[in-house]
């Protein structure tokens, strides 16, 4: 399996208390070109992350000394880091919770190595959109009403107010801005933001739209419009039917 050349300098931290799984993932991720470090406890994960500065963490939820969900904000304390939860906790409630608190993806055990590597690549592409996602604007700036998104700097503003978004929220807003005025279905959003269909479950889209509204639409006028039974659109209230 191949990954994009521009992603091969990415650093991946694998955190799991099963040594054979850590070794298997480490070998596979190194084989396709990533630099890999590992940890088997929450304490060790935080120490290694501080030294290794990973671009992405493959994170087990059930560690002997910590809950992986609780580790997420601590792993991101030093800067933006992609997080792929990899766990045996396979209920929809757990999956939605992991995504709700800011996880970029959620894979349940047992899993295929090809799937994990593919999803790691998808997250890294979202973290590094410039030059990968086909940006045509030379400045990398998207604008709609008073909303500005800088794809080069990974920054968002409404008026003069900065808005801090997770990588997935950023990708979702970028997609809506590129299609401003058009109604995008949940299936289209899943395909273009997550690059797969979440096994047909589109509730993750609704969850992330809610997160985005809490950050973008706290200012007037609200820009994210729900079209019942169809999907979502970025448009001013005066343009809505």
Instruction: Tell me the pTM.
Output: 0.59
Fold of 7-127: Rossmann fold (3.40.50)
Q: What is the pLDDT of residue 138?
A: 35
The boundaries of every CATH 3.40.50.2300 domain in the chain are 7-127
219 vs 5 pLDDT, higher one: 219
Q: In the CATH scheme, what architecture does the domain 141-234 have?
A: Orthogonal Bundle (1.10)
pLDDT band at 78 (very low <50, low <70, confident <90, very high): confident
5-17 residue pLDDT tens: 667 779 999 999 9
Q: What is the pLDDT of residue 201?
A: 67
96 backbone dihedrals φ, ψ, rounded to 5°: -65, -35
How far is the C-alpha of 113 from the C-alpha of 159, rounded, in Å? Answer: 44
Evaluate if residue 180 carries a pLDDT over 90. Answer: no
pLDDT band at 84 (very low <50, low <70, confident <90, very high): very high
**Residue 202 near residue 187 (C-beta atoms within 8 A):** yes
Q: What is the pLDDT of residue 119?
A: 87
Tell me which residue of 29, 223, 179, 162 sits closest to 38, measured CA to CA: 29
126-163 residue pLDDT tens: 776 433 333 334 357 888 888 999 888 888 999 888 99
Evaluate if residue 38 carries a pLDDT over 90. Answer: yes
The boundaries of every CATH 1.10.10.10 domain in the chain are 141-234
Residue bearing tokens 């084989």: 31
**Mean residue pLDDT across the chain:** 86
């Amino acid at each position: 399996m191949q990954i994009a050349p521009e992603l091969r300098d990415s650093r991946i931290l694998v955190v799991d208390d099963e040594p054979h799984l850590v070794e298997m993932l480490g070998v596979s991720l190194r084989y396709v070109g990533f630099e890999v470090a590992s940890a088997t406890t929450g304490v060790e994960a935080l120490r290694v992350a501080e030294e290794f500065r990973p671009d992405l963490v493959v994170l087990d939820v059930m560690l002997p000394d910590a809950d992986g969900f609780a580790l997420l904000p601590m792993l991101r304390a030093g800067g933006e880091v992609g997080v792929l939860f990899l766990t045996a906790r396979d209920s929809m409630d757990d999956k939605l919770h992991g995504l709700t608190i800011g996880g970029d993806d959620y894979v349940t055990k047992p899993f295929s190595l090809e799937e994990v590597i593919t999803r790691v690549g998808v997250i890294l592409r979202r973290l590094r959109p410039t030059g990968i996602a086909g940006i045509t604007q030379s400045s990398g700036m998207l604008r709609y009403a008073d909303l500005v998104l800088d794809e080069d700097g990974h920054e968002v503003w409404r008026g003069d107010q900065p808005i801090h978004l997770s990588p997935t929220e950023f990708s979702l807003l970028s997609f809506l801005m590129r299609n401003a005025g058009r109604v995008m279905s949940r299936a289209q959003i899943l395909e273009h933001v997550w690059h797969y269909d979440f096994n047909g479950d589109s509730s993750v889209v609704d969850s992330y739209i809610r997160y985005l509204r809490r950050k973008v639409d706290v200012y007037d006028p609200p820009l994210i419009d729900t079209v019942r039974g169809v999907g979502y659109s970025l448009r001013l209230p005066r343009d809505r039917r």
